[in-house]
Structure 1
Amino acid sequence: MAFEPLAPGAVLGILGGGQLGRMLALAAGRLGFDVAILDPDPDAPAGRVAAHLITAAYDDTEALRTLAGLAQVVTFEFENVPAASVESLTALGVAVAPGPQALAVAQDRVDEKTFLNAAGVRTVAFAAADSAEEASEGVARLGAPVLMKTRRDGYDGKGQRWVEHAADAARVFAELGARPVILEAPADFVRELSIIAARGRDGAIATYPLGENHHEHGVLRRTIAPARATAATRAKAERIAAQILTGLDYVGVLGVELFELKDGELLVNEIAPRVHNTGHWTQDGCEVDQFEQHVRAVAGWPLGPTRAVAQVEMLNLLGEEANGWARFAGEPETRIHLYGKREAKAGRKMGHVNRVKPLA
């Protein structure tokens, strides 16, 4: 059945009330939508800027029924939403976007890389392991060093360890909780790039300029965009994004993390079925940012233009760094985005700033 575009005044439901949910809610509000947030935290940052906050676990049957009664369409701010919750909402007659296939693929790193390879997209060599013995065999087959990651739930460098020697595989497997893992061969890359892309309900695709990313201790520190890149590199990244979006019959914004190799080839590191940290620069650097674009897509609106209007350096503010808001506010080229989190913890993303310059 065809999806009728949502008119302003409709309610958009969001599973998750963190910073991504907050920025989605603010974007939805600009387009005239009300937002309903479902989150276990009664003080969730997104809940404080939304019309409705449902405080409950993501798999709470009654809460999901309440959300379904409020929202005409539901999306999510992070990929570890229980698949059963999406199935429940769908059964209650609510459209959920992105769809269940994208969620399932992104929740399991082995399934993700298997899908990517099947879609014609290159990744590093990998192997799955469900036991210490299989982990040791996988390291021996791929050749150390390899990166061992839990198949599910890891983020920002958590749930992963380097295995320098095959003899260390069993110990590292135990350190990661003796859970199913993926083993990944290292990539001899020159830099990390990302592309933010969107697909509408009509199948239209829009891609943003490439970003160049710099990580510290497994956490994204800064993104510089648009990244300097050849036309061939840009075309490869756009083709990769389109293959993934089409293969997943995707609706919404997708983040694709890439390794650029010495020979110019691109490997996909990870995908994220949602708005993405490496796309925050679009808030002050593009005609329509990734948050509005996601709302447009899931609401059935036409996708907006993605042209860059400025050169941006996005810097994540971790922990106490957000307390420097007064200094940032005094910098004419700096735009501040704070997430409304009450407590600053070491390494916690409290906000970001976009430092804006004219395009070269």
Structure 2
Amino acid sequence: MQTDLVAALDIGGTKIAGALVDADGRLLVRTQRATPAQEDGETVARAVDEVLAELAGSALWGRVTALGIGSAGPVDASNGTVSPVNIPGWRGFPLVARVRAATGALPVELVGDGVAMTAAEHWLGAARGYDNALCMVVSTGVGGGLVLGGRLHPGPTGNAGHIGHISVDLDGDPCPCGARGCVERIASGPNIARRALEGGWTPGPDGDTSAAAVAAAARAGHPVALASFERSAQALAAGIAATATLTEIEIAVIGGGVAGAGDILFAPLRRALHDYATLSFVQGLKVAPALMGTDAGLVGAAAAAASAPTTPRRAVRAGR
């Protein structure tokens, strides 16, 4: 028997991906375009149109009942607009209206990319089976999303759980968001690398100054590289513990490029949690690496759309 499908878009500064997703989270059709991030807004929108046109050209398109969008942010789901930091041509861009016009007025659900990743991890990944979870992307930036009471909690604008801009150092460095000492300003990949370079770490002959290169140096025992990851882990632990104290999450799932450092990040993070998650009701908090990989944005966008109240039928089961 044929079942309904959900279309999904995953929009970031590097790529615009699209897929048709079935009730088991399988991507039956997928396509992708490079994001013309430095072009004007209409040029970026045309790339979205091309992805949608390719999906709509599939023989499976007639089974699509809703469309989910996970976008780099900030997003404003209440108004259907996006203003991604890494796509300067889109400021208050009416993405939902554009997508609806291109797809015959399908129900459309817009969430931030961190929320989309959370939906995917809760449905099929490391947060599966947990009713209360924080899922995070630690990469160029730090984003996240929440599951509360067994359901995705995107918030009114689709940004709830954006842990990267919790301040964990009141007198810390200014953050591009306008605050000081944000988790992102300390824990993101570029800031891990910046701190290591400022502390005297030097890259190898290839000149690689990425967080991955710092992680490799940390594995080799370089004290400055280790210290930079320790500081990142401390910031993450403080933000996670604060979130757990407010929401009683049971698990924090961490994905993104920085999570690829493995125990170089997770070992000091788990140690630091003992210093911050001290109250009895958060002491059992678990930390785990994400499982969904590069498909998380598409799977999660589909899950968010399927669980939205505007979706006529549940093509995808978001959560348990």
Structure-2-length-normalised TM-score: 0.35
Q: Kindly indicate whether structure 1 or structure 2 has the higher relative contact order, using CA contacts under 8 Å at least 6 residues apart.
A: 2
User: Normalising to structure 1: TM-score of the pair?
Assistant: 0.32
Which structure is higher in helix share? 2
